[in-house]
Amino acid sequence: MILSDSTSLVDIHSHLVPGVDDGAKTVQAVLNAVERFTRLGVRRIVTTPHIQGSTTLQTHRLEERLEAVTVAFDRAAVAIRAEFPEVDFRRGHEVLIDVPEADLSDRRLRLDGTSFVLIEWPRLQVPPGTPRVVRWIRDQGYRPIIAHPERYGGMVNAVDVASRWRAAGAYRQVNFGSLVGRYGSEAESIAFRLLEAGLVDYLASDFHGHATLKIYQSEACAALEARDASEALDLLCRVNPARVLDDQEPIPVPALSPGRNLMTRIRGMIKREMA
């Protein structure tokens, strides 16, 4: 592991509030997941259950949902404190932007109550007008981080699309698994294209807490180490996620050099085929 201080790793995208979404179902599953994160050197976790933007526009439904998440989060947090006192467990949400003007004013919707909010587009597609939506969120005083831009369909011109998001004021978070083919070769290719364009601000797990799933952090780090990207890696996994908790903008991440890109990916594909 090339990261300079692996004990201070921060993960800003996961589904570890038990029983509220398609992530971990029980407190025990959360504890198992946290144990795996600690072995990877992660000490701070901001977990991000799914919520729909349309829910934020219905006061009663929103309150019900946030209350249910709070109760489940608190149960997990108590268990984590008892078993892993070294872990700082916090929360936010992953807000599905199914309406253009979600109400993000409740601090529980944002990452640890900061101005940062993790958002995703519906049905893993990029709808028309996303830069306008990003700009609207910024105008409300919040800083959107777009979850896994590499995973959306219709991202043929991924660099152009992500550049427009950046210009509108959004940050981009790539999943660890995307760098090693977890979501297919298209997502892997887009993830690297975005890194080569310097358009990624954070890496995170998007871990759903199931025993059969992998977190892919070490595999992703190895893929970047193979590209001599130690400075970028440190910013993507440690410095910038920690800055979210301090409500500070990410430090721009240097573009990954395209040099050994193709060969590295081919070697990775061969290795996975043989595994």
Per CB under 5 A, residues contacting Fe ion are 94, 206
Is the CB of residue 238 less than 8 Å from the CB of residue 230?
no
Tell me how far, at minimum, the Cβ of 152 lies from Fe ion, in Å.
13
Question: From CA 57, how far away is CA 60, in angstroms rounded?
Answer: 9
56/173 with CB nearer Fe ion: 173
95/256 with CB nearer Fe ion: 95
Tell me how far, at minimum, the Cβ of 116 lies from Fe ion, in Å.
15
Closest CA to 93 of 146, 54, 46, 150: 46
Question: From CA 161, how far away is CA 210, in angstroms rounded?
Answer: 32
Q: What are phi and psi of 82, to 5 degrees?
A: -70, -40
Question: From CA 18, how far away is CA 216, in angstroms rounded?
Answer: 21
User: Within 13 Å, how many C-alpha atoms sit on residue 93's CB side?
Assistant: 25
Tell me how far, at minimum, the Cβ of 264 lies from Fe ion, in Å.
26
Tell me how far, at minimum, the Cβ of 161 lies from Fe ion, in Å.
19
Tell me how far, at minimum, the Cβ of 20 lies from Fe ion, in Å.
13
Residue nearest to Fe ion (CB): 206
Strands 42-47 and 88-91 come out as parallel
Q: What is the DSSP letter of 255?
A: P
13/265 with CB nearer Fe ion: 13
165/183 with CB nearer Fe ion: 183
17/162 with CB nearer Fe ion: 17
